[in-house]
Amino acid sequence: MIGNRMTPFVPEHLPISSVNWAAHVSLLGRANRALARYEGVLYSVPNPGVLLAPLTTQEAVLSSKIEGTQASLNDVLQFEAGELFADENTETDIREIQNYRQALRKAEEALREKPMHLNMLLQMHETLLDSVRGRDKGRGRFRTVQNWIGANDCPIERAVYVPPSPEILPDHLDRWEKYYHFEEKDPLAQLAIIHAQFEIIHPFLDGNGRIGRLLIPLFLHEKKVLSRPMFYLSEYLEANRDEYVNRLRALGQPGSWDDWIAFFLMALESQAELNSSKARAILDLYEKLKIQVIDATHSQFAVPLLDFLFERPIFNMRVLTADKRSPSAPMVATLIKKLREKGILTVLREGSGRRAAVLALPSLINLCEGRDVLKERVPQGRSLPQPSTPVRK
């Protein structure tokens, strides 16, 4: 995004005429094959919305991390199990992550009624910034003032990028919306352009990066590349953050669109392979645990209980007892006791008085985190040290 730092950038009109489509044939083939394999894995997962719920949360964690949040998947799951944190910043981060996930869910529901449109972007933005940092920065509205990107509180004179002026923003948003539904030569290259152009336009005062990344799974779903908007690209973008930012900022220079498209296609291919591997691993873990849970409990509630654990791998006993899939409270206590004894579940906090016990399914959490954050076997009645120590306020 070249030009005078203080001069608002003027984007190219879509579709981009300078793209060398022949140069991307090989990368397009590889990325499309990788996504097709991932879609095959998704198709084989029974109830992916439940079994892959932790990966959806992990995507929200990583996309928000690109914007500076520090909370982990483990932090989010503990918070949702009723734990509070001494550090208010952690709780603020968690709420931003929850909003990201909620914005994706609402958009998926909205797409069942009508295609993507600008008002849907506004609805996503309103959900994203609900009661969190940035809520006073034009939440749910396209900007009507000039914004810029730079260090915190830097003046426009020190900006690294100045987006288009608010006067030309409506025209470029209209062109962006039309191109979103354009029949391009290939939808994956089209997605690369859509994502980049959205970031170039920067139509909001805050939340542009997260909305731009939310558009990736939604577009793949709407174009029927994926049956569900469950694609987690933020892990690759976070790992390659410098190149991601530099490729975006270079747009406007000769050959920059081809360089950006190549980077984005490689990101799609790499992340599709990783997502396939993780989804397969989660399915394998589910099948393995199904045998173990049935063997440990000999109960007709074994599979519904396991489904609950995959949807909420850190949970509050009170919430489990209230779940419609659960039997009576005494039966739930008996089942959980047996899973604890087998080392399938770990206690994070024992129940005391009115405070319900909090437990975890460490094998699933460790798999999603890609590292051991919870020990998988501890003696009954002992608590585990946590990466972030929650406390009751």
Architecture of domain 278-369: Orthogonal Bundle (1.10)
Architecture of domain 21-275: Orthogonal Bundle (1.10)
Which of the pair, 1 or 195, is modelled with greater confidence? Answer: 195
pLDDT tens, 27-42? Answer: 999 999 999 999 999 9
Structural tokens at position 61: 């964690």
Neighbours of 178 (CB within 10 A): 11
DSSP three-state, residue 335 = helix
Q: How far is CA 28 from the centre of its chain?
A: 24
Most confident of 132-146, 166-180, 232-246, 337-351: 166-180
In degrees, rounded to 5, the angle at the alpha carbon of residue 60 between the alpha carbons of residues 57 and 64 is: 145
In order of 158, 192, 258, the CA distances from 247 in angstroms are 20, 11, 10
Q: Which of 97, 89, 77, 83 is nearest to 390 (CA)?
A: 83
pLDDT tens, 4-33? Answer: 457 899 999 999 999 999 999 999 999 999
Mention every residue, 6+ apart, whose C-beta is less than 8 A from residue 35.
188, 220, 225, 226, 231, 268, 272
pLDDT at 384: 39
As annotated, the residues of the chain forming the CATH 1.10.10.10 domain(s) are: 278-369
pLDDT tens, 51-64? Answer: 889 889 999 999 99
Structural tokens at position 35: 């996504």
Buried b (16+ CB within 10 A) or exposed e, 70-100: ebbbbbbbbbbbbbebeeeebbbbbbbbbbb
Distance of alpha carbon 152 from alpha carbon 158, whole angstroms: 11
pLDDT tens, 293-341? Answer: 999 999 999 999 999 999 999 999 999 988 888 889 899 999 999 999 9
pLDDT tens, 196-221? Answer: 999 999 999 999 999 999 999 999 99
Q: Scanning the structure block, which residue is given the tokens 């029927």?
A: 224
Mean pLDDT, range 215-229, rounded to an integer: 96
Distance of alpha carbon 353 from alpha carbon 164, whole angstroms: 58
Structural tokens at position 89: 């910043």
Structural tokens at position 146: 């000039």
Distance of alpha carbon 12 from alpha carbon 2, whole angstroms: 12
Distance of alpha carbon 109 from alpha carbon 221, whole angstroms: 12
Distance in angstroms between the alpha carbons of the first and the last residue of the chain? 47
Tell me what percent of the residues of the chain surpass a pLDDT of 90: 76
Q: Which of 328, 330, 326, 329 is nearest to 306 (CA)?
A: 326
Are 230 and 55 within 8 A, CB to CB? yes
pLDDT at 378: 45
Structural tokens at position 183: 């029949």
Give 149's DSSP letter.
B
Are 42 and 48 within 8 A, CB to CB? yes
As annotated, the residues of the chain forming the CATH 1.10.3290.10 domain(s) are: 21-275
In order of 217, 266, 274, 335, the CA distances from 35 in angstroms are 11, 12, 11, 39
The whole-model pTM stands at: 0.89
